[in-house]
Structure 1
Amino acid sequence: MNSSILIVDDNTDMIQLMARMLKGVARLRFATHGQEALRLMRMEPPDLVLLDAEMPGMSGYHVCEALQLDPVLTDIPVIFVTGHTDTDYEVRGLDAGAVDFITKPVNEALLLARVRTQLRIKSMADELRHMAAIDSLTGLANRRHFESLMRREWKCCARDGKHMTLLMADVDHFKRYNDSYGHPAGDACLQAVAQALLSIAKRPSDLVGRLGGEEFAVLLPDTDLAGGQEVAEHAVQAVRAQRLPHASSLTAEHVTISVGLAVCTPHNAAEAELHALYSAADRALYQAKAEGRNRWMTWSGVHA
């Protein structure tokens, strides 16, 4: 039972009734007011929300509008459950972002049919989003998805006053590798490097992406310079440890990477600072290559 549903209603009897109807359909969670519902969704986004339209304090309409403004929650489908049968209420719910509307008293067959339909649509949409966000060769985040998540993390770090560290990595002399071993072997090399980088991204918030060709990036939210330097060293060592032969390399007898490191504490959510972080990591990568490759460097000149 992989799907989850959040039932939100200030009437606990209604929650219990719908829970009995939906037993075995999905994993169920419950909230009795809007703020609690948002808190639970931010902790663990559900696949579907059954939302009472009118509750004391924060109404279901306001909850739905809040979901649309949150990039993490905006794709969660919402079915309004209400005692009103007027068309105006249904239109208001749909305008707020709901995907469907069920009136009370709830009909079990109708509830099950609409819930299953929305869970099926959500599953297909999630799969399409996953395919659009993932680099098909390595399974890492592609450039577009990586930069999207980077912007989101940037805003979080700006809000909380935390450091953000960015590593940019290139496979050394990759064109020579492709010319010597062929493109299928080159693909296998990139997959191996991707796995090495994944192995050093230890926390759930750490993100590894393939930016294109032989270029990779590692995003480390809430990580200062010392922490970033430690991860950069682990990245270089992890690829060295694979001992993938590279007879045509001008640097070593095996595949190596060069890594550029930059760290920043965002002062605001503006993207100008984010672009500056990107540029600093790129310049550090260029320095690492100029110093002989198979190493990491920070833009400040610290290297190993």
Structure 2
Amino acid sequence: MRIKKYFSAAFVLLICIFSLTACVPYNPMVITIEELPTDTDVYILLRPDAEYLKERSDDGSMKGTEIWEYNADGWVPASFAVRDVRENRPDTDAQGYKLEVCYKRGYGFDEVADFCETFREMRFAVVDKKGNVKNVSQSYSLIPEDKFGYPDEMIYNAKNDSAEIKYYYEREYKGLTPSGWWFSVAQLSWITDLAILILLALSLARQRSRFTKGERTALILLSIPAVANIVFAIILLNVPYLNVAEKPSVLSGVNEKVRCNLPFAVVFLVFIITVCVHRHNRKKTD
């Protein structure tokens, strides 16, 4: 009866752990503007190929102003001149002036990736309320050299003309992000973890004093995905180029990669219990 209680608790814990691995939706690229002069706005400038240019449309009272007509060395205002790009200006909060850059539908990872790969760099134009361009920043790359990712949230300081990427989207390799490849391994390990639990349960139910040769072989083979899962997670967490910053979630402080390895921790605990029971059974038979 005690063994059944152990396994009931283990399976409940396993289900709870699986429920902690829900996906987090993506958002448009968000830029926080710091130290913006009074009575000014910020517009994104892009340098698109001709195929991405569109006929300029009016945006409120901006038609005919300097920013609306701006075109310097191919740099044009994204909202007015570039197809499928728009800018949203949500209410300013305590962190400063906000600017959202949307491409196509504007809410998925694919759109952000397409935007960064298509335009590859951007500039910021500080504009007064009459549409006069007060300052144009240096160009900033949308393909960071030090991270395998795309900008998700940026901070631009208008006074110092400096930009910092706060959060990233991961880039893809062969159709999946590094975390996507890791998560595929994690899912496989969950299946093999369950198989190990069943094997351990059968061994305990038969009241054996040790694992058979076949059971030992099965345990080793079934443990390979879990070990690969742990190694993969360690690499993603500790290689700076791949360690793309994650946004805080409702489970802030509990890293996703740690959560997804918890099933193996449960399996390991049950394995220790099984070994202890085997030892106890051997003593009874001696």
More helix by share: 1
Which entry has the higher C-alpha Rg, 1 or 2? 2
Which structure would you say has the larger RCO, counting Cα contacts within 8 Å and 6 or more residues apart? Answer: 2
Q: TM-score normalised to the size of structure 1?
A: 0.26
Q: TM-score normalised to the size of structure 2?
A: 0.27
